[in-house]
Each structure stands twice: as structure tokens, then as C-alpha cells.
């Protein structure tokens, strides 16, 4: 905890685009911190479907009702470095079924080795969204299917535009 007792967390991810599963983690995570930064990863080596601006725009719209959440871009290669700069003491991540565990364990352990002042905290997925991922939503949108149960209406519109339906 920082000396001024303000608890700051960061929730990093691609959010390509934000799903209701992400939003659920953000809403629950926001209750655990005084301030929660949702940090969009901007990695030049990675290819995203939506641009940084589009991902920021959709995230900002989805989070506008949560007062202590701020959406930011993370151009930093290392999440722990970004967390340190933002004075965060915790990295928040979501865990779905088995598929996330190995990767998240590896990342959390590595990040702890890099900076042991920053803890990674996991929130179990809401069972309603345990199957939900940005890629699955894009698959459905590509096939012009109904995505209204997976994303906010605003993001749904953006997906319709992207996939022409």
C-alpha cells in the first residue's frame, strides 16, 4: 500500500474488443481499489482487429458509469513497469476455465520476480461469461450472428460496422 493509503490497481489487456466478461471483472475490481486503471496494451509486435483509438473508445463507453475507473493506453513493454509508473500496487487479471491458468501463472510469477512490490490479483470469471472471449465474439460477428449477449450495445454497433452487417 502507498503511504497516502490510496489503493491503485491496473487491469491490463488487449480488449480487442471489450466483452461483458471483461466488464464484469472491471466492475467487481473497481470495488477493491480507490482507483482502477484499465490499460489497453499497445504492442507493436501484436496485430489487433481494432485500433488503439477504437479499443479506447469502446472501453471508455463501457466504463463510463464507474467513477473510479480510468481507461488508459499502455505503450510500455513491461506491465510491471507501467504499474510502477502509475503508482499501482496490484495487477488485476480475470481467470476463466483451465485455459487461462497456465499462461496467467507464468505471467504472474514472472511479474513478481521483476517487481515484488506489485501483486497480481485474480478474479474468477462470472460463470455467465466463463466461455466468453474477444476472439469468440469476433468469430460470431464474422458470421453475422447475434452478439447482443456478449458485448455492450455500443460495442455491438462497432462490430456490426467492422463486419458489415
| Site residues (vs ligand ADP, CB under 6 A) | 13-15, 19, 21-22, 25, 93-94, 96, 100, 125, 129, 132-134
Task: Please say if 96 is a catalytic residue.
Answer: yes
What number of other Cβ atoms are within 10 A of residue 80's Cβ? 21
Instruction: Let me know: does 137 contact 107? Beta carbons within 8 Å.
Output: no
Q: Nearest 5°: phi and psi at 68?
A: -95, 15
* 17 vs 89, beta carbon nearer ligand ADP: 17
Q: How many CA atoms lie within 13 A of 136 on its CB side?
A: 11
Task: Please say if 148 is a catalytic residue.
Answer: no
Task: Please say if 134 is a catalytic residue.
Answer: yes
Give CA–CA dist 125/158, Å, rounded: 25
Least distance (Å) from ligand ADP to the CB of residue 64?
19
Least distance (Å) from ligand ADP to the CB of residue 3?
29
Task: Please say if 149 is a catalytic residue.
Answer: no
- Tell me which residues are annotated as active site: 22, 46, 96, 134
Amino acid at each position: 500500500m502507498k503511504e497516502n493509503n490510496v489503493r491503485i490497481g491496473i487491469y491490463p489487456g488487449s480488449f480487442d474488443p471489450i466483452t461483458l466478461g471483461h466488464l464484469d471483472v472491471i466492475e467487481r475490481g473497481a470495488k477493491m481499489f480507490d482507483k482502477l486503471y484499465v490499460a489497453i496494451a499497445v504492442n507493436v509486435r501484436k496485430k489487433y482487429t481494432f485500433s488503439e483509438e477504437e479499443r479506447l473508445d469502446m472501453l471508455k463507453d463501457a466504463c463510463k458509469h464507474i467513477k473510479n475507473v480510468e481507461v488508459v493506453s499502455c505503450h510500455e513493454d513491461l506491465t510491471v513497469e507501467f504499474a510502477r509508473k502509475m503508482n499501482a500496487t496490484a495487477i488485476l487479471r480475470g481467470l476463466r476455465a483451465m485455459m487461462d491458468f497456465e499462461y496467467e501463472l507464468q505471467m504472474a510469477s514472472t511479474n513478481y520476480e521483476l517487481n515484488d512490490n506489485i501483486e497480481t490479483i485474480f478474479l474468477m470469471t462470472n460463470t455467465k461469461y466463463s466461455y466468453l472471449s474477444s476472439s469468440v465474439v469476433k468469430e460470431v460477428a464474422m458470421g453475422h450472428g447475434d452478439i447482443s449477449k456478449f458485448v455492450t450495445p455500443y460495442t455491438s454497433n462497432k462490430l456490426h460496422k467492422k463486419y458489415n452487417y
